[in-house]
Homo-oligomer: A and B are copies of this chain.
Amino acid sequence: MSTSQIPLHELEDFALELARLAGNIALANFRKSIEISNKDAIGFDPVTSADHAIEQVLRTTIVERYASHGIVGEEQGRTDSLSPYTWYLDPIDGTRAFMMGSPLWGTLIGLTYDDSPLFGLMVQPVLEEVFLGTSDASWLVKPTSRQRLKIRNCTNLANAALASTHPDLFDADSAAAFNTLAAQCLLHRWGGDCYNYAMLAAGFVDLVVEDQLKDFDIVPLIPMLQGAGCVVTDWSGKPSLRGGKVLAAATPQLHAAALAALA
């Protein structure tokens, strides 16, 4: 098998095994007394032992199977390679939710080919949900069911449910733009982290708008979102492969309206 032609079914089986490994570690640490260290001298950016343990097991498992692939992870940074394949790992997206007992966090696992998102998933082990996909099709995989993900056909802001994680992730300028957009939407909720994107793909949220994302926060979600019909870009309409300002919308019409409101 050439490394440039991993069959999709093989990739999905492998990624689901990674999701299972990550979920087991996360569940063993969820709602337990966990050690919290502070990796940001200025703000408060908690890192749990679960974060570190998950990324380590994912990296080890990927290297055993696909030794040539690159890996980008939240905790251990970038391992470059000559392969066109690079894995993007966020061991626990939503660490604060995790710490505060909420199940709205997930492990993100994505694969790019020549810097283009190929496949990705988000696993939420408390709810036993894996949201996965390619740009062709996306699925919610549960222990005994598998169901196609499809956006809600929302085409204007006045009918749109908007989600975003926390106002502190916006600076003064981006907060003003966000508030202009939010005021035109039907309803808006804070909180949610990666789970907001899953609900967008599933058709219960219409817009997710965020700032200050890292590449590993969004790259694993892009194929799943596109496969459900979403449009995902930065706030100027360009691809959002480096994180930063992200706009994910259920439909092209809604995406255009949100872009205009944010401008």
Residues of A within 8 A of B (CB): 31, 44, 46, 96-97, 99-104, 126-127, 161, 163, 166-167, 186-187, 189-192, 195, 198-199, 202, 204-205
A40 to chain B, nearest CB (A): 12
Known: A167-B167, A204-B31. A102 touches B187 (CB 8 A): no
Q: What 6 A-B pairs have minimum CB-CB distances, sorted nearest first?
A: A191-B191, A101-B204, A190-B190, A101-B199, A100-B205, A100-B204
A94 to chain B, nearest CB (A): 10
Contact of A104 among B99, B104, B186, B205 (CB under 8 A): B104
A125 to chain B, nearest CB (A): 12
Which one of A99, A187, A198 has the greatest number of beta carbons of chain B within 10 Å? A187
A173 to chain B, nearest CB (A): 19
Number of copies: 2
Q: Which residues of B contact A192 (CB under 8 A)?
A: 102, 191
* CB <8 Å contact, B100 and A199: yes
Known: A126-B127, A167-B167, A204-B31. A102 touches B190 (CB 8 A): no
Contact of A100 among B46, B97, B189 (CB under 8 A): B189
Q: Which residues of B contact A100 (CB under 8 A)?
A: 161, 163, 187, 189, 199, 204-205
A189 to B205, CA, bound (A): 20
* CB <8 Å contact, B191 and A190: yes
Contact of A102 among B46, B96, B104 (CB under 8 A): B104
A29 to chain B, nearest CB (A): 12
Contact of A187 among B96, B101, B190 (CB under 8 A): B96
